[in-house]
């Protein structure tokens, strides 16, 4: 990782809530940059995988010859934070995925795609998140949930009985969208990710 006073955080900019994440990260004082090419992975201190459509993001990453470099970077220790579709992309195993759906992997967990239902079933809820003071207003949009976690995965939050925020080593993921709604302006989940980077 490069050493600089200001953290340089990339947002995978193929599809999804890219601008929203860039805005939240910039407000926290980081140098937030879009990432579209393999060479850019070597210039950042951490990477956010945004909410969007997980199958589309994976296909575009394959098309842009970015999928394998992403896997190599994550395997090599690049800190990453996935939200909604980003959680699916970081998961080692998927349930209810489309045929041939690929992930980047890294998180030892099984996620169920669209587990909370379709777009019409989107909802908001206040959650208790480990490491965050006070309730987090979480926005769930066609969200996954975690069916099973490996022994090295820490569950940070649950919605009912299902884990919806997790952390494992340098990786973190949420089923919900902290980059939209009132939480976007507070940036507490993004700050938790920045703290994770600083602790490594």
Residue 24 is predicted with a pLDDT of 96
pLDDT bin (cut points 50, 70, 90) of residue 15 is very high
Q: Could you give the percent of the chain with pLDDT greater than 90? A: 76
pLDDT in tens, 122-158: 678 899 999 999 999 999 888 888 999 999 999 999 9
Q: If you average pLDDT over each of 13-17, 98-102, 180-184, which comes out highest?
A: 13-17
Give the chain's mean pLDDT: 91
pLDDT at 83: 96
CB-count exposure of residue 158 (10 Å: 0-12, 13-18, 19+): middle
Per-residue HEC secondary structure of 34-83 comes to: EECCHHHHHHCCEEEECCCCHHHHHHHHHHCCCHHHHHHHHHCCCCEEEE
The pLDDT tens digits of the residues spanning 36-76 come to 999 999 999 999 999 888 989 999 999 999 999 999 999 99
Please say whether the dihedral angle defined by the alpha carbons of residues 133, 129, 124 and 13, taken in this order, is positive or negative: positive
Residue 193 has a pLDDT of 97
What pLDDT is recorded for position 101?
Answer: 81
Tell how strand 145-149 and strand 136-140 pair up. Answer: unpaired
> Which domains does the chain show, CATH number per domain?
8-199 (3.40.50.880)
Mean pLDDT of the region 104-127: 80
Residue 80, pLDDT score: 98
Q: How much is the pLDDT for 119? A: 54
Q: Is the pLDDT of residue 200 over 60?
A: yes
Over 50: is that where the pLDDT of 1 sits? Answer: no
Query: Which residues are marked as active site?
Result: 84, 177, 179
């Amino acid at each position: 990782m490069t050493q600089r006073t200001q953290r340089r955080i990339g947002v995978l900019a193929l599809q999804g809530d890219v601008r929203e994440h860039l805005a939240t990260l910039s407000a926290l004082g980081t140098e937030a940059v879009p990432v579209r090419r393999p060479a850019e992975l070597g210039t950042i201190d951490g990477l956010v995988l945004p909410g969007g459509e997980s199958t589309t993001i994976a296909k575009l990453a394959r098309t842009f010859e970015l999928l394998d470099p992403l896997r190599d970077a994550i395997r090599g220790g690049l800190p990453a934070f996935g939200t909604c579709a980003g959680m699916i992309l970081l998961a080692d195993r998927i349930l209810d995925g489309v045929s041939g759906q690929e992930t980047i992997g890294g998180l030892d967990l099984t996620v169920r795609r669209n587990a909370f239902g379709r777009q019409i079933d989107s909802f908001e809820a206040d959650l208790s998140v480990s490491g965050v003071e006070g309730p987090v207003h979480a926005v769930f949009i066609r969200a996954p949930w975690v069916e099973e976690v490996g022994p090295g995965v820490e569950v940070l939050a649950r919605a009912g009985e299902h884990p919806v925020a997790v952390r494992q080593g340098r990786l973190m993921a949420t089923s919900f969208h902290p980059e939209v709604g009132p939480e976007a302006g507070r940036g507490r989940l993004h700050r938790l990710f920045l703290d994770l980077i600083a602790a490594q």
